[in-house]
Structure 1
């Protein structure tokens, strides 16, 4: 198993930049020795998602129209974690961002938090990193979504959310991965 980088970067060229992402094009020699180009989308924030579960094993999904997909999407609450460029991602900052997103999107506050998953969301074209948390000990407060969010909150049994994943009704990668991870934890008696 080779774990060293087999790619050679000949040149890199910034193509696009905004407050959330940047796009860089690389002239490369690929692992087979051929010359080519590779594009990389760099995410300036770390993604965070929250799977809230109450004492009766109900969960909460957020429905919203996704501009990039031109489609409606059911998801677990999620957002971004701002951190300083070039510095390691702090778990404390990401947890605080997850707590903020849960409150903003659903009005829920949780007393127990557990990181259940770390994942890369699309590692063939981006470096986006995500943390998925389980939130328990829920108390309802008032939601305060951002102006770009027109959200519908849906409380449902966790088994129904799992069924939505199986039927392809939930397609967001963090939501799918988080729900499947929690189902595995449930099956192994780790809830």
Structure 2
């Protein structure tokens, strides 16, 4: 029976910074690949952690955030998402992000997932939360965000994630995971009843 190999099979010969801005840095590594052959490996280092929030209101609706994504050259419907400072509790960053994008605050929070996004080229870590027992306030999006907010039944958001109208990785993951956790009895009953389908 083969032995499981979980160690690092790459050898880094030289690393050189290529580009940096306030959000990312790019480093190119001269490497020997797992077969021992020379090559290069570019890594994008994210200077912030990502957070995503699936808010559920008292009628079983969620809020989707629509915005044009510059890198994709396409419009995207997502859950409220954003970045948090390294070293700050991801929940604190998620609470701030939910308030900024939607004006909502939540009295109840549940961690849904820790994710690595695009892990072949970036070290980005994302933290996803379910939020409920909501209170409305005034949104204050950043100047780089031109947002539309849609309030939809959770069942519709689930359908959008399943049929490809939502393609954002964190949104799809959190919507589907919330449904599965609710069906498995792994979420508080007061919110799970809206998510089971």
| Distance in 1, Cα, partners of 2:63 & 2:47 | 27
Deviation track 1:88-112 (CA, whole Å, cap 9, x = no partner) reads x45xx21111011101101111001
| Distance in 1, Cα, partners of 2:178 & 2:150 | 18
The Cα of 1:186 is off from its aligned counterpart by 2.0
| Distance in 2, Cα, partners of 1:155 & 1:185 | 22
Aligned residues: 184
1:70 is matched with which residue?
Answer: 73
Which of 35, 40, 45 is the equivalent residue of 1:37? 40
Which TM-score applies when normalising by structure 2?
0.91
The Cα of 1:55 is off from its aligned counterpart by 2.1
Which TM-score applies when normalising by structure 1?
0.94
2:19 is matched with which residue?
Answer: 16
| Distance in 2, Cα, partners of 1:49 & 1:155 | 16
| Distance in 2, Cα, partners of 1:64 & 1:104 | 14
Q: Give the superposed CA RMSD.
A: 0.9
Q: How does 1:42-53 map to 2 (within 5 A)?
A: 42-53=45-56
What is the SS of the residue equivalent to 2:40? strand
| Distance in 2, Cα, partners of 1:38 & 1:75 | 30
1:172 aligns with 2:175: no
What is the SS of the residue equivalent to 2:144? coil
Unaligned ranges ≥5, structure 1: 84-88
